[in-house]
């Protein structure tokens, strides 16, 4: 489970180092994992994630409650808080909307 409640978060998933810096909205319970590098905004929050093993951009998951993953082989299970089934959130387009638990996430990203 990844819940970001402070202004700074560091951890490891497998052998991949994850560095996330949030600001202005510490109540968000969301997390983003990419295979290479990601730099964007979610609401007023700046999210910067760097993982070391893969060159392409892949947004793997946004979650609030449960997380089961093998990042090396790109297998992600996400179980959301009010939903009994697993969901795979693979975001390769430029726009995404969903509910994470009781929180509504509206997200746009750009690689420019």
Model pTM score: 0.17
- Contacts with 90 (C-beta within 8 Å, 6 or more apart), sequence order: 58, 59, 60, 76
Q: Where are the domains of the chain?
A: 8-108
pLDDT at 24: 35
pLDDT tens sequence across 12-30? 333 333 343 333 333 333 3
Please compute the mean of the pLDDT values over residues 89-104 and round it to a whole number: 35
């Amino acid at each position: 489970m990844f819940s970001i409640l402070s202004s700074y978060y560091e951890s490891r998933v497998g052998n991949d180092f994850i560095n996330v810096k949030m600001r202005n909205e510490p109540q968000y319970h969301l997390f983003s994992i990419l295979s290479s590098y990601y730099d964007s905004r979610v609401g007023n929050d700046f999210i910067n994630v760097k993982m070391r093993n893969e060159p392409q951009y892949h947004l793997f998951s946004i979650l609030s409650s449960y997380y089961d993953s093998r990042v090396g082989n790109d297998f992600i299970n996400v179980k959301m808080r009010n939903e009994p089934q697993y969901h795979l959130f693979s975001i390769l387009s430029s726009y995404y909307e969903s509910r994470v638990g009781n929180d509504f996430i509206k997200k746009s990203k750009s690689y420019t």
